[in-house]
Amino acid sequence: MTPRIAVVGSVNLDLVARVERLPRPGETLSGASFARFPGGKGANQAVAAARLGADVTFVGCVGDDPFAAEALQNLRELDLRVTVADAPTGVAVILVDASGENVIVVAPGANHELRPGTFDLPEADAYLCQLEIPVDTVRHVERTGNGLFCLNAAPAPEGDVPIADVTIVNELELERLGHRQNLVAVTLGAEGAFLLRDGGEIARARPPRVEAVDGTAAGDAFCACLVVSLLEQREPEECLRRACAAGALAASRHGAQPSLPTADEVEAILLDA
């Protein structure tokens, strides 16, 4: 049966400059290339889950401005429940160096207007949220959703966030969250990831070797693939291995949503590993 996932989260337009190296504080670099891509952690994870074979509903908020249509262009084939706010569409300004390392600044705009009461939560097998939307909205999804509640606790949280059935974090985010129960996936970048259940490690995986060019949506690909794989009732180690492969594939391509792999691509790179 096809997994049904409702992603409640952010949608941005990514403004990406590629440079040989990242500038130091106060330094101006010239010679960059520039591109615009649909992005936002919520939208990225929705597109990723759909490419991996899930039936996806996306809930988000944009502004009444020219950026909105661009930011939503890859979501048109999904079940969209997008409201329009009296605020600009979210924007992420991203610098990417020659090794694929990046720095990101987000102006959330309309994403902060995605509030409880502004949307109807669909029926789903799993609900996936991130922290680029108000925490009150995340809590609303946790309380009212009738499926598995999954939280990518990024950007690194300030203050308390809901305890999810599945939490996905990097090492910095894990430090800020402190002790968590249930299932926690911790990403380690090029070193892979590990899974904790009730605080004890149950699985660890490394990604296939790739040439990294842009890590912008690698974490989003990981999150979506982990949730889809769990809903497909795969074993924890296989879920983690597939998620690492999805993240590696995304890091080997430019842009956020253009980099997100399909299920067939994940299977292929795992067979070659």
Whole-angstrom distance, CA of residue 218 vs CA of residue 259? 8
* Residue in 64, 125, 220, 264 annotated catalytic: 220
Helix, strand, coil distribution of the chain in percent, nearest 5: 35, 30, 40
User: Are the C-beta atoms of residues 82 and 58 closer than 8 Å to each other?
Assistant: yes
Number of domains making up the chain: 1
Q: Tell me: the pLDDT tens digits for 29-41? A: 999 999 999 999 9
Is 220 noted as a catalytic residue in this protein? Answer: yes
Give 37-89 as a DSSP string: EEE-HHHHHHHHHHHTT-EEEEEEEEESSHHHHHHHGGGTTSEEEEEEESSPP
Average pLDDT, the chain: 94
β-pairing, 193-197 vs 200-205, is: antiparallel
pLDDT at 26 over 70: yes
Q: pLDDT per residue over 79-108, tens digit each?
A: 999 999 999 999 999 998 988 888 989 999
Phi, psi of 69 (to 5 degrees): -60, -40
- What pLDDT, in 10s, does the model give residues 220-264? 999 999 999 999 999 999 999 999 999 999 999 988 899 999 999
Predicted pLDDT at 83: 96
Phi/psi at 149 (nearest 5 deg)? -100, 120
Q: Between helices 263-272 and 236-251, what is the axis angle to 10°?
A: 100
Domain that holds residue 216: 4-272
Average pLDDT on 39-54 reads 97
Q: Are 50 and 76 in contact (CB under 8 A)?
A: no
CATH code, domain carrying 50: 3.40.1190.20
Q: What is the pLDDT of residue 273?
A: 66
> Does pLDDT of 178 surpass 80?
no
